[in-house]
Structures are given as structure tokens and as C-alpha cells.
Chain A
Amino acid sequence: MGLGSFAQSDALTLGVELELQLVNTHDYDLVGSAPDLLRLLSRKGATWDIKPEITMSMIEIATGVCHRHAEVLDQLEEIRDALVSCADSLNIGIAGGGTHSFQHWSERKISPTERFDYLSDLYGYLAKQFTIFGQHVHVGCPDADLALYLLHGLSRYVPHFIALSASSPFVQGHDTGFHSARLNSVFAFPLSGRAPFVETWEDFGTYFESMVKTGVVKSMKDFYWDIRPKPEFGTVEVRVMDTPLTIGRAAQLAAFIQSVARYLMVERPFMPGEDDYLVYTFNRFQACRFGSQGIYVDPQTNEHRSLADELVGTFSKIEAHAVALGAEGACAELLQGLRAGFSDATLLRDEHALTRSFPEVVQRQCQRWRAG
């Protein structure tokens, strides 16, 4: 399978994918009920894009092509309600959050499809370790070179996206100290990290062909980059976010990304360069580890500041674009949460401090998902 040409899509259109946790309602451990849930959904005539994921306790939902935050939220609400109603008849719970707080990876089962079997053969236990839950946001691009510009431009904001979405402090029954521990699991994959710095679709094609020639990859799907182009959709896909605890926050994050993308496309505030990536993994780590309390190193000036300050600055830079996109309400709420020191990760930590029980934390995650 070659790279193919880059499909056209309207600039700044949005598509949101969320990977979700399926748990039982007895002890709130993950349960492999994805096939049951999918069967029930299709029996009820659901037309939404809902898919199995690599292990059977995961499910992925996706919106159609949206233009505005309100549209994303409406679609997510509709899908969420359909899911919750089917989950209720099966007595299973659905939860957001980037990791399940106490599941054991070895107990997971690989979904029985050709692709997942292949991945399981290739990656061994990493495949089961990959029972983590992310939010992917597609941003539409009218042409391929612009997509690469956007990809590298957005790379500077990866720490921002991580800090705002972080919801995976717990792994395998322990507090990791991270705000987003989920991304550590992604890093184990050989083709993870960031896309190579190429600025034209032609150069990207050359890179892709040489990778195919090495026999290491077959398709774009084999790259687990933080941000990658999706030529079939004509989009750039941001993949660093944890699935938030509510669809409300998921829609807000999509609106934020859309506003940043508009800011980049319209204002062209900087020209991306390979040197941007000198601080990339450092910034990314700081965001994963400390959330908005982490340090952000400005790739241009090498100035060190707190990510929270950097975020506040970003919100003011993109404000006009958010207004133009009808995303100002969503961005305002994110900013307000940031100022109050709120994040899904800290919320989960608070709930664990309160209940002293991981299963109860998961139970509350389910309630939150259903309500928000």
C-alpha cells in the first residue's frame, strides 16, 4: 500500500476520535465486552462510526466531519447517549481517562481481527500494554504542503495539548506521579515520537517510500507519531491527548486545537524548523510529568517558563481565531480551569485521596462520563 495522494478537505474542519474504557459494574475492572456492545449498537441501527480497538475492553468512537465546536459536542453527545443506553442493557460501564487505573495488562485480550492479530504478533506484550485511551483530533487541510506546515507548527503545542488533556495518573494500581502516564506506553513503540522534518508532500513521499523499502513499514498506520498526516482524509491528526473524563472537555480540546490551527494558518506566526525539535521531547516529558506545572522551553528564544504561563499566553494569541470559529466559549472554559489549577489528572488524584480505592475512582469516572 503506497502513500497515495492527499485528499482535499475544507480547511479547519474537525473530526474527533475517542478511545473509551469498558468496565464491569462489579469491581470496575476492564471487561472484554467490545464485541457485545458493538453487536447491540448495530442491532439498534446505530449508524455512528464506532469501532473495536486493539484489546477487547476498548472501543473507539468518532464524529463525522464537523465545522464548529458546537457541532462536535452535539455529535459526541448523541454517540455517548447511544453508547450509554446499550452499555446499560449489558450492565457494563463506560469511562473516559487515558489509562484504566488498576487493570493488569496481562489479563487483556487482543480483538480478533487480522490487523490486531498482526500487531500482537509483531509487538508481543506491547500490544496488550497498549490498552490505553487517547483522543485524536483531525484538522482538515485543503492541500498537502499546508498539512505539513500545520503538522510542524502544531508540534510546538504538543505540551499544551498534553497538559490540558492529561487524565492518566494511575497505571496498574499505582500513582505514577505523571499527569499523563499514557504517553509513556506509546514511547515503547519503535515508530513513535515525531514526524521527520520535511516540508513538502513530495519530500514526505520520498521519505515514506524509503521507509517502505526498508521493509519496516507498510502504511501510514505503522507510524505512531504524535501528529501525523492522514492523506485519505486530507487531515492532520493530533494524537497526543488522553481521552478526557467527559465529552464536554473532549469537545473543548478539539475547539482549542482548531483555534491554534487557524492561528497558525492565518497568521503564520513562525516558520517551523528542524531546531524546533531540539526541545521537543523535553517539553513533552515536562507536560506528561507535571502537567501545566511543567517547564516549557520556547523553541525560538530558548526561554524557560512554566507551561501554565505559556498556555495563558497562547490563549490570548488565539482568542480572535477562537471567536471566528465559535470556539471562544470552549477556550474560555479551558482557560478558566487552567487558572483554577484544574485538570482531569488532578481530579482523579483527588478522588483517589477521598475514596482510597481505585475501583471507586473508576466507578466515579463512569458516572462522570455519563453525565458530562
Chain B
Amino acid sequence: MIDTPWPAGPFEFGEVLRLALALFGAVLASEALRRLIRLPRIAGYALAGLLLGPMGLGWFAGQDMLRFRMLIDLALALLLFELGVQVNLRWLRTNLWVVAGSLLESGLAFAATFGLLLFVFHVEGKLSAVIAAIAMGTSPAVVMRVAAELQAQGQVSQRILVMTALNTIYAIIASKLIIGGLHGAFKEDWVLAVMHPLYLVLGSFGMGAALAIAFKLLRRHFDFSDEQGGALLFALLLLTLAALEALNLPSGLAPLVGGIMVKFIDPRPHLWPRYFGTAGAVLFILLFVLTGAAMTWHDLLIGGGTAGALLLVRALAKGCGVVAFGPISGLSLKQSLLVGVALSPMAALALLLVQDVRLIYPAFGDKAASVVLTLMVVLEIAGAIAVQWALRKAGETREGGR
């Protein structure tokens, strides 16, 4: 075989071809949907993922999420870091009503989903709590990508991003705490049950701080808005991810917290090529395709009904939470409602959190996974549409207004 330099059949195409075709298909599909029915691009990627996944052509399987985990982690780290930099802690200190609104909407979302699962669907308490914790979070990927696509700017856009950053932090921390509780339940090891989540949270904050300090030091010598600096930032986040993996820390919390700390210790304007240019864009497309492809018919059958009810209850809870403190925090009633609607998306991060549970407790995680998967796939697509609708209604998109 090796003797001949010429190609000889049968041809074998591996991973690369599937990725290439997936990318190709996703871009074409989303562009077509965008032009035909003004669907947000990422919703198109997710739909393409559904089509390529087990529910359609079967090119990708649910496990591919794990095989490409590095890719997904990197894509999310980039997004979460950039999201963090948009959160101005000094502002939150000035306008505490924003924080109050955030706590209320997340708390209500937790309580409503937990209650529904426990009392209506009779899901066991621990499982209900894990799902409810994950359901507190809004997908950073969806809100950031849609806001970027529409070039949205203004109060509503800003609130959506900040609320998303905050509830993502709550969701990660709460789900880790509950996992700690599970440790106790499964192994009756209560020291571990307390110490492990504490380690995960404090470790993440520590890594976030390290990231922020490294960023600030590098910024003295590099301009992150040029290509060189962009590459450096990429490298810095990769390094962070490597360290997080070595330390067995979750991949999401540290980049987000790091971003927030960066803005706090260095309030100067932060500019870098949004979403890291073309290389970043490819990563994000694959991120959405892969999350779309994670869904199976099995999940839909098991999780579908529950997810449908959860979806409604969660949206209502989040809406009420935001509206309750919206006007007093400086928004109009209409703007508050729009922010509430736009907090509905769930996507990749929720999936990763479920998978973290699954890795530790395979049997336990499977049940939760079906519900969250279904919720996620629906809210990835419908949520993107909701965010787009809200930003347009708020008149904060580039093409909106006059």
C-alpha cells in the first residue's frame, strides 16, 4: 500500500471530512434560514446539528460532545471571558437593584422548576435540584452571538448580558454545591460533600484571579485588539483551561469570573476582535452544531413532556423576577419584559453541566440529561429567536430605529 504514491481505494474519510461537511452544511443552512425567515444564525447551526445528529443523518452521536470537549470548552471559555469583561462590578455596586433582580429571577426559576419536577412530575428531590440549578442559567453563547449578530447596543442589551453572566455564575455554583450534596448521599462522605464544592468554587475564583492578573500584566506590553494580542489572549485562555483540567476544576466559572475581575482591576476600555475573528467564528459554529447533535429520540421521548412544562414555568419565573425589580432599577416596564423574555435561552453550558454530573454518577446523570437535553435543544433555537425578538422590539439593533 505504501509503495504507491497514488491514491488507491477504498477511500477512507474520517473526522476531518465530517467536520468539514458539518461546517459547510451548517453555514449554508443557517444562511438560507436567515434569508428566508430571518432566523438568527445560531438557531440555524443548531438545527443543522439536529439534522446531522442521531435524530437525522446520524453523522454525529451524543458522545461526540465528549470527544470534542476541548473544542467546546475553548469556545465557551472565549465567550465567557468576553462576557465577564462586560460586567462592571462598580455599576452593580451603584445600582443594587440590578443584582436584586438577578437574584430574584434566578431564585424564582430555581424554585419553579424544582417545585414542578418534585411535586408534579414526582422526580426525586436530588435530581430535581440538579435540573433546577442548571435551569437558572441563561445561555451566554446564545445571547452573546445574537446580540453580536444584530450589533445590539443599549440598556436592554446590557441588562441581558449582565443578567446572563450573573445567573450563569449561580447555575455553575449551585450545581456544584448540589453535586457535593450528592457525594454525601452516594458515599456518605460528608467531609467530601462540603469540601469538594468549596474547592471547585474557590479554585475557580482563584484561577479567575490569576487569569485577570496575567491579562493585566500582558496588556502593559500588548494591544489585545490587534492580531498578535488576539493570539496571545487565545493562548492565555488555553493555558487557563489546561490548568483547570489539571486541577479538576470546572471549565466555565474561571474564565467568566476572570473576565469580571479584569474589568474591575482595569476599567479602561477593552477591545479585541469581537469573538476572536474567523477562527473564533468556526469554533462557535461547531459548538452549536455539536450541541444540536447531542439530542436523541430517546431523550425527546423521556424528557419531552417534562421539558415542555419546565420551559414554560421557567420562562414565566424569569420574566416575573426581572419585571419585579426592572422599573426600580431604571428600566421601563416594556424593557423589563423584553429582558425577561431574552433570558430564556439554554445551550451548551447547560449540557456541559449535565455531563459533569453524568461523569461522576452515570446512572444518576442519564435521567437528568434527557430532560436538560430536550430543554436545551428547544431553548437553543426558540431562545435565540426570543433574544432576537426582544432586541428588535427594544429598538437596540443596528437596523432598528431610524
Contacts and interface: CB of A to CB of B under 8 A. Distances in A.
Which range contains the number of B residues in contact with the other chain?
Answer: 20 to 34
Given A39-B332, A112-B402, A25 B268 contact: no
A362 B154 CA distance: 18
A360 interface: yes
Contacts of B86: 26
A309 B156 CA distance: 52
Contacts of A360: 268-269
Contacts of A39: 330, 332
Given A25-B91, A32-B401, A36-B155, A89 B269 contact: no
A31 B88 contact: no
A91 B158 contact: yes
A27 interface: yes
B270 interface: yes
B19 interface: no
Nearest to B328: A43
B235 interface: no
Nearest to A120: B402
Given A33-B155, A39-B332, A88-B94, A107 B398 contact: yes
B402 A110 contact: yes
A198 interface: no
A363 interface: yes
B330 A357 contact: no
B225 to A, nearest CB: 9
Interface of B is mostly: loop
Interface string B91-113: 10011000000000000000000
Contacts, number: 73
Contacts of B73: none
A117 B153 CA distance: 21
A363 B153 CA distance: 18
Nearest to B95: A89
Contacts of A24: 153, 158
Contact of B402 (A25, A89, A117, A362): A117
A32 B269 contact: no
B359 interface: no
B153 A112 contact: no
Interface in A108-125: 109-110, 112, 117, 120
B87 to A, nearest CB: 10
A18 interface: no
B355 interface: no
B301 interface: no
A323 interface: no
Given A27-B270, A28-B269, A88-B95, A40 B330 contact: yes
Which range contains the number of A residues in contact with the other chain?
Answer: 20 to 34
A109 B91 contact: no
B238 to A, nearest CB: 24
A143 to B, nearest CB: 42
Given A88-B95, A90-B330, A120-B402, A33 B154 contact: yes
B380 interface: no
Contact of B269 (A26, A86, A88): A26
Given A26-B86, A112-B402, A357-B269, A89 B330 contact: yes
A94 B320 CA distance: 32
B271 interface: yes
A40 B398 CA distance: 24
Given A89-B330, A90-B330, A32 B154 contact: yes
Given A33-B154, A36-B155, A359-B269, A88 B401 contact: no
A242 interface: no
B329 A89 contact: yes
A226 interface: no
A83 interface: no
A28 B269 CA distance: 7
B155 A90 contact: yes
A33 B400 CA distance: 14
A350 to B, nearest CB: 17
A151 interface: no
A56 B398 CA distance: 13
A29 interface: yes
Contact of B401 (A25, A40, A110, A363): A110
Contacts of B396: 32
B269 A363 contact: yes
B91 A91 contact: yes
B148 to A, nearest CB: 13
Contacts of B94: 88-89
B91 A88 contact: yes
A125 to B, nearest CB: 12
A39 B154 CA distance: 14
Closest 5 pairs between A and B when the two form their complex, measured CB to CB: A359-B269, A109-B401, A91-B91, A110-B402, A89-B95
Given A36-B154, A36-B335, 10 more contacts: A27-B269, A31-B153, A32-B154, A109-B400, A109-B401, A109-B402, A357-B268, A359-B268, A359-B269, A360-B268
26 contacts: A24-B153, A25-B91, A26-B88, A26-B269, A27-B270, A28-B269, A31-B153, A31-B154, A32-B396, A33-B154, A36-B155, A36-B332, A40-B330, A86-B330, A88-B91, A88-B95, A89-B95, A89-B330, A90-B95, A90-B155, A91-B91, A109-B401, A112-B402, A359-B271, A360-B269, A362-B269
